[in-house]
Chain A
Amino acid sequence: MAAGGIKTPAVLDELESHLLEEIRERMAAGDAQADAFEFATGRIGTPVSLRAEFNKISGTTFLPVVAGAGLWAGLTLLAAGLMLGRVFDGKTDMLLFAHAVTLTAGYLAAFLSGGFAAYHFGLQWFEKLSPTAQDALQRATLQFSGISAALTITGLVLGMVWSGQNRGVYWTGSAREVGTLIASIWFLGTWAIQQFRRKDVRVQLLASICGNVAGALGWFGAGIFQADPGLHRLAHYWPLQVFIGAHLLLFAVAFSHRFEAAKS
């Protein structure tokens, strides 16, 4: 079924469960295992036709994902627009602009991935998680997780190149640089975990929620250690603590019995 293009873990589990029931019934009726298997697979339908039917449902647009992606694109463009002004004013150059925009987009993508995961858990808590929503949110969580890893690593490299050209050293070991490096590695690790644990939806979602905490600490937490944190001064104020606390609470709640089904 997976080779036929049906990728959603929950759907594969359900079809597999059905096949096993049919095989068990046929074998209890006296069929040999091979015959029972052939009968069951013939009865369940071809992967191509099943995929076509499931695609009709999963192809449906899920508005929150579209809205979230639009918000991400909009905020990235806004940040780019604001920073471009500094380039035209001569206060910064294109390389630093590229570094700042890609990093901003990368962090925002990580927060969006975590946001989708949190929304998934929220819908599940209130028993309003439809298969379309589940499929759309899982895909979006994984996609933006990958985008965040790619963009933050690119931004980090661009920053190092700028530093090499303007300061003579590629790495100064400042709190901001270390924070970004750790966050980038974390996002890459999150994406890798999500790729290797594709069948475990809960692990995928929790990894993205952790990504939010890593992103918040990497982006704003570095400001705690700096005398002049600039935009990163948010670390000194309660929003960061509330943001992290809320995510840790969500992480703890996600382990409750109501989310056992999220494993599938």
Chain B
Amino acid sequence: MHSVPMIPKELVAASAEALILSLLSKGESYGYAIIQEVRARSDDHLKWTDGMLYPVLHRMENHGWIKSRWVKMENGRKRKYYSLKKDGKDALDEQRAQWLKVHGVLSQLWGEQYA
């Protein structure tokens, strides 16, 4: 079975916003859950340094794409939930179009190469 080589950190970083926006478009979530879901969906190929997620989330909040709220848990601890705002939906649509375009061109080239 063909194994996927390690994905370079530049590609991981470049895809972070698109991944986060896509996950939050499915509903409100929090940092730890976001990381777990990305890991599960990528079979652990997309390796994030966990803490690096939070500056990205804060940057996206600065842009006005997402908003946050603190929720007090049953054990008394707090957890910060993030959700998508209207500008975030627009940013997601834009990024989706960009990634699909790149994917389309690459698929075409590789289809020609391996046909």
* Cα–Cα, bound, A49→B67 (Å): 25
Indicate if the CB atoms of B67 and A127 lie closer than 8 Å: yes
The reply on A131 being an interface residue by CB < 8 A is: yes
The reply on A156 being an interface residue by CB < 8 A is: no
Query: Which residues of chain B (50-106) have a CB below 8 Å from chain A?
Result: 50-52, 54-55, 58-59, 61-62, 64, 67, 69-70, 77-80
Interface of B is mostly: helix
Count: A-B pairs, CB below 8 Å: 69
Query: Which residues of chain A (218-264) have a CB below 8 Å from chain B?
Result: 260-261, 263-264
Q: List, in ascending order, chain B residues with CB within 8 A of A131's CB.
A: 58, 61-62
User: At the interface with chain B, which of A8-16, A137-145, A162-170, A172-180?
Assistant: A8-16
Indicate if the CB atoms of A49 and B50 lie closer than 8 Å: no
Contact with B along A63-92 (1 / 0, CB 8 A): 000000000000000000000000000000
Given A14-B80, A17-B79, A45-B49, A261:B69 Cβ within 8 A: yes
Contact with B along A1-44 (1 / 0, CB 8 A): 00000000011011101101110000000000000000000011
Residue of A10, A15, A17 near B77 (CB, 8 A) is A17
Contact with B along A110-137 (1 / 0, CB 8 A): 0000000000000000011011100000
Instruction: State the interface size on chain A (CB cutoff 8 A).
Output: 29
Indicate if the CB atoms of A44 and B51 lie closer than 8 Å: yes
The reply on A54 being an interface residue by CB < 8 A is: yes
Indicate if the CB atoms of B78 and A13 lie closer than 8 Å: yes
A21 CB, nearest partner CB in chain B, Å: 4
Residue of B50, B59, B80 near A45 (CB, 8 A) is B50
Given A45-B49, A264-B70, A56:B55 Cβ within 8 A: yes
Given A20-B77, A57-B59, A132-B62, A45:B67 Cβ within 8 A: no
* Cα–Cα, bound, A214→B71 (Å): 34
* Cα–Cα, bound, A132→B31 (Å): 18
* Cα–Cα, bound, A132→B62 (Å): 6
Given A261-B70, A264-B70, A18:B51 Cβ within 8 A: yes
Indicate if the CB atoms of B77 and A60 lie closer than 8 Å: no
Q: List, in ascending order, chain A residues with CB within 8 A of B70's CB.
A: 260-261, 263-264
Q: List, in ascending order, chain B residues with CB within 8 A of A11's CB.
A: 54, 58
Indicate if the CB atoms of A15 and B64 lie closer than 8 Å: no
Indicate if the CB atoms of B78 and A49 lie closer than 8 Å: no
A46 CB, nearest partner CB in chain B, Å: 8
Q: List, in ascending order, chain A residues with CB within 8 A of B54's CB.
A: 11, 14-15, 18, 50, 54
Given A22-B32, A54-B58, A131-B61, A17:B50 Cβ within 8 A: no
Name A54's closest neighbour in chain B (CB-CB).
Answer: B55
Given A17-B78, A22-B32, A130:B49 Cβ within 8 A: no
A14 CB, nearest partner CB in chain B, Å: 5
Binding site for A on B (CB under 8 A): 31-32, 49-52, 54-55, 58-59, 61-62, 64, 67, 69-70, 77-80
The 21 listed contacts between A and B (C-beta, < 8 Å) are A11-B54, A11-B58, A14-B80, A17-B32, A17-B78, A17-B79, A18-B31, A18-B51, A18-B54, A49-B52, A50-B52, A54-B55, A56-B55, A57-B58, A60-B62, A130-B62, A130-B64, A260-B70, A263-B70, A264-B70, A264-B80
Binding site for B on A (CB under 8 A): 10-11, 13-15, 17-18, 20-22, 43-45, 49-50, 53-54, 56-57, 60, 127-128, 130-132, 260-261, 263-264
User: 4 closest pairs, A vs B, by CB?
Assistant: A45-B51, A53-B55, A131-B58, A45-B49
